Amino acid sequence: MKFGIDRLLADPELRAPLEGKRVALLAHPASVTEDLRHSLDALAACPGIRLSAAFGPQHGLRGDKQDNMVESPDYSDPVLNIPIFSLYGEVRRPTGQSMGTFDTILIDLQDLGCRIYTFITTLLYVLEAAAEHGKSVWVLDRPNPAGRPIEGLTLRPGWESFVGAGPIPMRHGLTLGELGRWFIDTNKLDVDYRVIEMDGYRPDDAPGFGWPLDERIWINPSPNAPNLSMARSYAGTVMLEGATLSEGRGTTRPLEIFGAPDIDARAVIAEMQRLAPHWLQGCALREIWFEPTFHKHVGTLCHGVHIHPEGRFYDHHAFRPWRLQALAFKAIRRLQPDYDLWRDFPYEYEFGKLAIDVINGGPALREWVDDAAAVADDLDAITTRDEQAWAEARRPYLLY
């Protein structure tokens, strides 16, 4: 499989439209070539490309910011002597000043295939700024490691945020290049846009389902995205950021596990199996104990669950991480009705809204968890409609 960056570097004809242009790059630590050079260095050494600036998303161009909501500053690259602009610092959207440093921006970001992953919102903001300032945008496409499956509620009007760029379900099943096409059409943007497509991307084929197992190694696109299992689980486990349960930050398997000092994980798993066993297919659940070294429940022994969408337990089409995590919340609420489950803080700078609702693009998930009379079929009924509608809506934008 050839990623967009590798095709661009290898093919002078693909690069020809960049001759004489000022070129910027939006990238992060996983923006590497097949020989593991960072894309910034590879492009700087590439004939015919004149790098004039670079941009970093959340966690920074170098991925140095460990936690959420930790901002990165602008700086000057000491080797290339070009400005590096942060799109997760004083601003989230590119400014007129930064837009004036280039003619074409190349976007080379490894996404996780989840609406809440902020790189897709940054893509939208760059597209909007490019339309305003008459700039060109090229996406150097990369695989969606979560593949084509769709899952979760669609974001409701009025719930747009930095973790909710539009009416997209939690697990959208598109590559970044495909999402750019959808953003442009949906938001009616007049922008010069191009996708440098991948060669050999087959998202329906086992065993990798789009991720090139044994061809490309995994590199964290953000500090707490350590492996493919996390990427597969993330559309569900990201909801833990809006809960008091630990999502495993401060451990070596973040966003694959959940737990707390005051839950009985064995009882939670049993209750999940009793309530909706069909939501637990395609993976294995394992009772664990862990002690976070930072973040929620730091230094405290937690009883928890490890989700394993890997090995012989993994079924790509059966695994439904969003429903699995929703069911975990429901099980805890059934076992401990007064459990203090939802965090109340300005998540991604959204004030006056519960974090779990910001994450889900509306209150429906939380209301289902907290409704003692609600059952799995109730959530399925509204979610399945959203998923079916998105399957049709995204169809014109598929490139592979």
- Asked if residues 130 and 191 have their Cβ atoms less than 8 Å apart, the reply is yes
Q: Say which residue the tokens 């399925």 belong to.
A: 380
Query: Taking all residues of the chain, what is their mean pLDDT, rounded to a whole number?
Result: 96
pLDDT per residue as tens digits for the range 114-163: 999 999 999 999 999 999 999 999 999 999 999 999 999 999 999 999 99
- Asked if residues 296 and 224 have their Cβ atoms less than 8 Å apart, the reply is no
Lookup: tokens for 133: 């300032």
| Domains of the chain, each with CATH number or no CATH | 4-222 (3.40.50.12170), 228-390 (3.90.1150.140)
**Nearest Cα to 153, choosing from 180, 114, 103, 102?**
114
> CA angle at residue 40 from 37 to 46, to 5 degrees?
85
Helix (H) or strand (E) holding 83: strand 83-86
Whole-number CA gyration radius for the chain: 21
The CA–CA distances, whole Å, from 350 to 45, 60, 182 equal 41, 21, 25
pLDDT per residue as tens digits for the range 184-232: 999 999 999 999 999 999 999 999 998 999 899 999 999 999 999 999 9
Query: Is the confidence at residue 69, as pLDDT, over 90?
Result: no
What confidence category does residue 349 fall into, taking pLDDT thresholds of 50, 70 and 90?
A: confident
Secondary-structure percent of the chain, ordered helix, strand, coil, rounded to 5:
35, 15, 50
Provide the strand spans (E) within 309-361. Answer: none
How much is the pLDDT for 62?
78
How much is the pLDDT for 71?
73
What confidence category does residue 104 fall into, taking pLDDT thresholds of 50, 70 and 90?
A: very high
pLDDT per residue as tens digits for the range 261-313: 999 999 999 999 999 999 999 999 999 999 999 999 999 999 999 999 999 99
CA distance linking residue 60 with residue 73, whole number of Å: 8
